[in-house]
Amino acid sequence: MLKITRLETFVIGDGPTIDPDQGGVEPLACLRVHTDDGLVGLSEVFRVPPGVVQATVGAPDTHFGRLLIGQTISHPERLWQHMWDSLIHTNRRGWQIIILGALDVALWDIYGQSLGQPVWQLLGGVQRGPFQTHSESRTSSVVPYCTLVSDTWGDEAMIAQQTERAVRLQELGYRAFKVEPMMSSPRHVVEMARRVRQAIGPDATLMVDVGYLFNDVPTVARICRELEELDIFFLETPFPVDSPEPYARLAELTSIPLAMGEHGVTRWEFQEMIERGRVSVAQPYMTTCGGLTEAKRIVDQSVSRGALVCPGNWSTQILGAASVHLAAYSPVTPFIEYAPAEVFDSPLRRELQQAGLPVKNGEIPFPNSAGIGYQLPAELIQRFSIGDRR
């Protein structure tokens, strides 16, 4: 059986002159798991300070090095449990779970390579019945929705730029879009959605993300009454996610599905928001939630509770490749989030997208290569490297 021999970390990014809030790639820790027969698994660690990753993943005397180096890869879930059990007296949320999740994705990558199969087949294959398959629940491809941001917030320039970007992406074949009227007034939130809906037409899918903008239910309820006329697929994070109660109250007042999950860790946080908060669209990041192992559990519990799972990804297509594998398995995933490099000023984002799973006619075909199927060029790492590799 395969044994883990080495853990490697490195940091890439666009550099200080390109703004992450405008689509640039902030310093991003990536990791590789090496095995005794030469197989290597890759993942990224979004939104964890790179120094934390480098301090805890690496040599045998680091936290995760002690747990994994020398271990046999009999199945990724066994190693997930091994790492999870080690946290029982430390931190069962936060950075440790996100790093655990990234290691889990890399282990699934190795596991698929060792068996010569794509990871989605090892998760269970396509779980869609013949009577539940339609244009938004495909059996051979995944549909990305494009997340749009702007250079300014809360004004006419924000609305105009995001609308223009939606039109440009639609011309390139994309068919689903999420606008982000963050730091905006209620009037600008509604106007943004109205303008983009008018621009992309009635057949494209439209989502709205206000980024935890509000605290009171009545204000958002008034916004939703106007948004309901625009066929909004979901409204993302109208409130902070520290309490499920505002979400539950709003769910009683609108027909628009409520979504959350970009920073959610473990299935239990998602379960609480679905059950108590009446959130009907879960958005786990494949590493942040605790890895593909935990994301699969989130799908399974969402199915039994009647919720959708639309994996989040305001990061790169290293993470996006893992999202595709979960979506291929999931019967409740019509879309995955996608940060389209075509409309952002980020050289690194463009090259990572080019190296990733291709979008064809607005869809990402299920990958056939073994493992996750993302190949990160060594030359790219050298050009965009930040700091030392460990």
pLDDT (tens digit per residue) in 288-305: 999 999 999 999 999 999
Q: Residue 132 — pLDDT band, cuts 50, 70, 90?
A: low
Q: Residue 122 — pLDDT band, cuts 50, 70, 90?
A: very high
More confident residue, 100 or 90: 100
Q: Residue 134 — pLDDT band, cuts 50, 70, 90?
A: low
Does domain 123-365 fall into CATH 3.20.20.120? yes
Evaluate if pTM is beyond 0.85. yes
Q: Which pLDDT belongs to residue 216?
A: 97
Element (H, E) at 42: strand 40-45
Whether 389 shows a pLDDT value over 80: the answer reads no
Q: What is the DSSP string of 169-203?
A: HHHTT--EEEE--TT--HHHHHHHHHHHHHHH-SS
4-117+377-384: CATH number: 3.30.390.10
Q: What is the DSSP string of 200-261?
A: H-SSSEEEEE--S----HHHHHHHHHHHGGG-EEEEE-SS-TT-SHHHHHHHTT-SSPEEE-
Across the range 104-108, mean pLDDT stands at: 98
Across the range 234-254, mean pLDDT stands at: 97
Q: Which pLDDT belongs to residue 387?
A: 81
Domain ranges of the chain: 4-117+377-384, 123-365
